[in-house]
Amino acid sequence: MAKDPILVVVFLRGGADGLALVAPSSDPDYIAARPDELRVLRAGDGAGRLIRQDVADTEFRFHPSASAFADLYEAGDLSLIHAAGLPEATRSHFDAEARIERGLFGSSLPPGDPSGWIGRWLQAAAPDGAMPALAVGAMRPASLFGAEAAVAQSLGDLMVAQGHWLAPALRARLLTGFGAHGPLAQPLADLVGLSDLIGGRLWSQTDEAVRDYIPSVPYPDGNPVSAPLMTVAQAIKQGLGLRVATVDVPGWDTHVSQAGQFADLTYGLTQALMAFWRDLGPLQQDVSLVVMSEFGRRLRSNTAGGTDHGRGNVMFVLGPQAKGGRMLGQWPGLANEALEEGADLAVVTDYRAVLAELLQGHMRLSDPAQVFPGLAPQTLGLWG
């Protein structure tokens, strides 16, 4: 059983269309700006589930492929924050991802500071588990810069990367040889400890192979989001000291023929997340999960059946600790005078305000300024 709170960060790479994930389906400007196939309709086959909310008079609906999110919302486990995003405008994927994962802006940006927001939380919290941070993927995201984190596609891959099959000789060399004294002693001892812990829990001496993870519920077959989330669930259940995990979900840059691919992406994401949530069982009480993207898409569709890079977007917070089943923040509307540069959903909520409430309310961080220096207070009420 997990003893400390755990945060899972799911990043939708490519700029997911928040106006389709959670759509202001009754807004006349929304209806006028997009053809039926790029909107969430109020009736018929393209209709999405109605969202109970009180942030505006507008009727909001989930995308019809996001029925799992609708279920979690109605169960009181999922919260929505719309019109959220970067305080600085950029429509470059690379630039936006770097800025959103660093979380430092303007006067709060120390010269030469390479740290990411999760890295700064790890420095401030100083968790003492064997594997406090895990990035599931091929590389460590910028949010984890400034702190040590395990990076792997699976825990089995991580165990192999630690050199499990050379363990006796490797451990003796590390612990009694060049790593016995000096500045490398503690990092190498931590490395050996992690290898021992993972090997002892994942390695079958009988089969001389990594044990397969058997989830408590089935995950969707052929779904690219299933395997990464299974890795996170396994790490949580194995009691490896995990405190924060990141999962990247690519493919959301839908400039061309958005309707079909967006529906597939949304269905895959939400179904895999539902399986993950059910797989955790009673450990849900220890876990919060946030879904975010680097920016949203433009209000008006383009001529290629897609949408181009925009600004404001929707964020999702999943976890029974927060007061879910609510749409939080302010809705600026989609009238031309309310749009940013006359084209984009405006950013009303700084995305860092959402993360700061998660870190303070769930991860027990006393002062969010340790992670987000210079962030102006903006209370959303996730825990209110």
CATH of the domain at 144: 3.40.720
Task: Report helix, strand or coil for 41.
Answer: strand
Other C-beta atoms lying within 10 Å of the C-beta of residue 336: 10
Q: Residue 164's pLDDT band (boundaries 50, 70, 90)?
A: very low
Instruction: Tell me the CB-side half-sphere exposure of residue 120, using CA atoms within 13 A.
Output: 23
Whether 203 is covered by a domain: the verdict is yes
* Residue 190 confidence (pLDDT): 61
* Residue 3 confidence (pLDDT): 76
* Residue 166 confidence (pLDDT): 41
Instruction: Pick the closest to residue 247 from 230, 260, 222 (CA basis).
Output: 230
C-alpha to C-alpha distances, 259 to 19, 68, 319, nearest whole angstrom:
13, 19, 29
Task: Give the number of domains in the chain.
Answer: 1
What φ, ψ does residue 67 adopt, rounded to 5°?
Answer: -60, -30
**Sequence-distant (≥ 6) Cβ neighbours of residue 367 within 8 angstroms:** none
* Residue 321 confidence (pLDDT): 76
* Residue 376 confidence (pLDDT): 87
* Residue 212 confidence (pLDDT): 84
* Residue 214 confidence (pLDDT): 94
Whether 69 is covered by a domain: the verdict is yes
3-state DSSP helix/strand/coil % of the chain, to nearest 5: 35, 15, 45
Higher pLDDT, residue 169 or 217: 217
* Residue 253 confidence (pLDDT): 98
* Residue 216 confidence (pLDDT): 97
Is residue 260 within 8 A of residue 23, CB to CB? The reply is no
Average pLDDT over residues 232-258: 96
Residues 248, 253, 258, 259, Cα dihedral to 10°: 20
pLDDT over 80 at 205, yes or no: no
pLDDT over 60 at 168, yes or no: no
Higher pLDDT, residue 98 or 111: 98
pLDDT digits (tens, 9 = 90+) for 275-284: 999 999 999 9
Other C-beta atoms lying within 10 Å of the C-beta of residue 104: 20
Q: Residue 182's pLDDT band (boundaries 50, 70, 90)?
A: low
Question: How large a percentage of the chain has pLDDT more than 90?
Answer: 71
Whether 375 is covered by a domain: the verdict is no
At what angle are helices 258-280 and 67-74 packed, to 10 degrees? 40
Residue corresponding to tokens 């949304």: 266
Question: How large a percentage of the chain has pLDDT more than 70?
Answer: 84
Residue corresponding to tokens 């994927």: 93
Which secondary structure element, helix H or strand E, spans residue 247, and what is its range?
A: strand 244-249
* Residue 138 confidence (pLDDT): 86
Task: Print the domain residue range for 348.
Answer: 6-370
Higher pLDDT, residue 238 or 161: 238
Residue corresponding to tokens 């086959």: 45
pLDDT digits (tens, 9 = 90+) for 72-92: 999 999 999 999 999 999 999
| Category of 168 on φ-ψ map: left (φ > 0), alpha (ψ -120 to 50) or beta | alpha
Residue 67 class from Cβ within 10 Å (0-12 exposed, 13-18 middle, 19+ buried)? Answer: middle
Average pLDDT over residues 340-358: 97
What is the amino acid identity at position 93?
A: H
Whether 296 is covered by a domain: the verdict is yes
Other C-beta atoms lying within 10 Å of the C-beta of residue 187: 12
C-alpha to C-alpha distances, 274 to 86, 183, 219, 278, nearest whole angstrom:
28, 44, 9, 6
Average pLDDT over residues 187-203: 65
C-alpha to C-alpha distances, 122 to 97, 131, 133, 332, nearest whole angstrom:
20, 12, 8, 35
Q: Residue 106's pLDDT band (boundaries 50, 70, 90)?
A: confident
- DSSP class of residue 377 equals P
pLDDT over 60 at 163, yes or no: no
What is the amino acid identity at position 289?
A: L
* Residue 320 confidence (pLDDT): 83
Strand partners, 340: 344
**Mean of all residue pLDDT scores within the chain:** 89
* Residue 281 confidence (pLDDT): 96
pLDDT over 50 at 1, yes or no: no
Average pLDDT over residues 169-184: 58
What φ, ψ does residue 221 adopt, rounded to 5°?
Answer: -70, 145
